[in-house]
A and B are shown apart, each in its own frame.
Chain A
Amino acid sequence: MEQTTNAVLSVRNVSMNFGGLRALSDVDLDVRQGEVVALIGPNGAGKTTFFNCITGIYTPTDGDVLAFPREGKQKRINGMRTNHVCELGMARTFQNIRLFPSMTALENVMIGRHCRTRAGILGAVLRGPKTRREEQQVVDASYQLLKKVGLEHVANDYARNLPYGAQRRLEIARALATEPFLLLLDEPAAGMNPQETLELKEMVIRIREEFKVSVLLIEHDMKMVMSLSDRIYVMEYGKVISTGTPAEVSADPQVIRAYLGEESDA
Chain B
Amino acid sequence: MAETLKFVDNLKKSAMAAVWLAFLTLPIMVIRVDTTEKIVTWRWMHLVYMLAGSFVLALIWHFMMDRRDRGASLRDAGEGGGDSALVRFLNNPRVLKPLLAFGFLVAVAFPLVFSMYQTNILISALIYVVLGLGLNITVGLAGLLDLGYVAFYAVGAYAYALLNHHFHLGFWTVLPMAAILGAFFGILLGFPVLRLRGDYLAIVTLGFGQIVKLVLENWNGFSFGPSGISNIARPSLFGVKFTVQQDTTYMYYIMLGLVIVAIFVTARLKDSRIGRAWLALREDEIACQAMGIDNTRAKLMAFSLGATLAAVMGAVFAAKTTFINPASFTFMESAMILAIVVLGGMGSVLGVILGAFLLILLPEYMRAFSEYRMLIFGATMIVVMVFRPQGLIKAKRKVYTINTEAA
A residues at B contact (CB < 8 Å)? 55, 57, 81-83, 86-87, 91-92, 94, 98-104, 106-107, 110-112, 114-117, 119-121, 123-125, 127, 131, 134-136, 138-140, 143-144, 155-158, 160-161, 174-175, 178
Which residues does chain A contribute within 8 Å of B3, judged by CB atoms? Answer: none
Cα–Cα, bound, A1→B213 (Å): 62
* Residues in chain B within 8 A of chain A (CB atoms): 79-80, 264-265, 268-269, 272-277, 279-280, 283-284, 286-295, 301, 305, 397, 399-404, 406-407
* CB-contact partner of B287 in A94, A120, A131, under 8 A: A94
Q: How far is the CA of A118 from the CA of B338 in the complex (A)?
A: 32
Q: Judge whether B294 and A100 touch: CB under 8 Å.
A: no
Within the complex, what minimum Cβ distance (angstroms) separates A142 from chain B?
Answer: 9
Point out which of B275, B286, B287, B401 has the most chain A C-beta atoms below 10 A from its C-beta: B287
Asked if A117 and B269 sit within 8 Å, CB to CB, the answer is no
A200 to chain B, nearest CB (A): 20
Looking at the complex, which one of A124, A143, A175 makes contact with B268 (CB distance below 8 Å)?
Answer: A124
A155 touches B288 (CB 8 A): no
- Closest chain-B Cβ to A156's Cβ sits at a distance in Å of 8
With A83-B293, A144-B406, A157-B79 as given contacts, are A111 and B286 in contact (CB-CB < 8 Å)? Answer: no
Minimal Cβ-Cβ distance residue in B for A161: B80
Given A100-B283, A110-B276, 16 more contacts at CB 8 Å? A57-B290, A82-B290, A83-B292, A83-B293, A86-B291, A91-B290, A94-B290, A103-B283, A112-B291, A114-B292, A124-B269, A127-B272, A139-B400, A143-B402, A157-B79, A161-B80
A114 to B278, CA, bound (A): 11
> Which residues from chain B contact A136 at a C-beta distance below 8 Å?
403
Contacts of B406 in A (CB 8 A): 140, 144
Contact B402 A140, beta carbon cutoff 8 Å: yes
Q: Are A83 and B294 in contact (CB under 8 A)?
A: yes
List, in ascending order, chain B residues with CB within 8 A of A139's CB.
400-403
Which residues of chain B come closer than 8 Å to A103, judged between CB atoms? 276, 279-280, 283
Judge whether B280 and A111 touch: CB under 8 Å: yes
A-B contact pairs, 27 of them (CB 8 A): A57-B290, A81-B294, A83-B289, A83-B291, A83-B293, A94-B287, A100-B279, A100-B280, A100-B284, A103-B279, A103-B280, A107-B279, A111-B276, A114-B273, A114-B291, A114-B292, A114-B293, A120-B274, A123-B273, A124-B268, A124-B269, A125-B265, A139-B400, A139-B402, A140-B402, A155-B402, A157-B79
Cβ-closest 5 pairs across A and B: A115-B292, A124-B272, A86-B292, A98-B287, A100-B283
Most chain A CB within a 10 A radius of its CB, from B79, B290, B399: B290
Q: Is B276's CB under 8 angstroms from A121's CB?
A: no
Q: How far is the CB of B149 from chain A (nearest CB, A)?
A: 20
CB-nearest residue of chain B relative to A100? B283
B99, chain A: closest CB distance, angstroms: 23
A83 touches B265 (CB 8 A): no
Query: Which residue on A lies nearest to B281, using beta carbons?
Result: A100
Q: Give the shortest distance, in Å, between B197 (CB) and chain A (any CB).
A: 15
Asked if residues A121 and B269 are in contact (CB atoms below 8 Å), the reply is yes
For residue B292, which residues in chain A have a CB less than 8 angstroms away from its CB?
83, 86-87, 91, 112, 114-116, 178
CB pair A121 B273 closer than 8 Å: no
User: Which of A115, A127, A140 is in CB contact (< 8 Å) with B293?
Assistant: A115
Report yes or no: A111 in contact with B402, Cβ–Cβ below 8 A: no
Given the interface pairs A91-B291, A114-B293, A115-B292, the reply to whether A98 lies near B284 with Cβ below 8 Å is yes
Which residues of the partner chain B approach A158 to less than 8 Å between Cβ atoms?
80
- B287 — which chain A residues lie within 8 A by C-beta? 94, 98-100
Contact check: which of B264, B277, B399, B403 meets A114 at CB < 8 Å?
B277
| Separation of A99 and B404 alpha carbons in the complex (Å) | 24
Shortest A112–chain B CB gap in Å is: 5
B291 touches A111 (CB 8 A): yes
Within the assembled complex, what's the spacing in Å between the Cα atoms of A14 and B253?
Answer: 65
Kindly state the separation between the CA atoms of A15 and B284 in the bound complex, as whole angstroms.
28
* Chain B contacts for A107, CB-based, 8 A: 276, 279
Q: How far is the CA of A72 from the CA of B274 in the complex (A)?
A: 28
A117 to B239: give the CA distance in the assembly, Å. 47
What residues on B are CB-neighbors of A102 within 8 Å? 283
Residues of B near A110 (CB, < 8 A) are 276
**Nearest chain B CB to A216 CB, angstrom units:** 15
Residues of B within 8 A of A82 (CB): 286, 289-290
Known interface pairs A83-B289, A86-B290, A127-B268. Does A140 touch B403 (Cβ–Cβ under 8 Å)? yes
Given A119-B273, A125-B269: A101 and B291 interface contact (C-beta under 8 Å): no
Please name the residue on chain B nearest to A94 by beta carbon: B287
Could you tell me if A98 and B286 are in contact, using CB atoms closer than 8 angstroms?
yes
- Chain B residues near A106: list those with CB within 8 A: 400, 402
Chain B residue with minimal CB distance to A117?
Answer: B273
Query: Which residues of A are found within 8 Å of B286, using beta-carbon distances?
Result: 57, 82, 98
* Interchain CB contact under 8 A, B283 and A101: yes
Residue ID in chain B nearest A106 by CB atoms: B400
Q: A99 — which chain B residues lie within 8 A by C-beta?
A: 284, 287
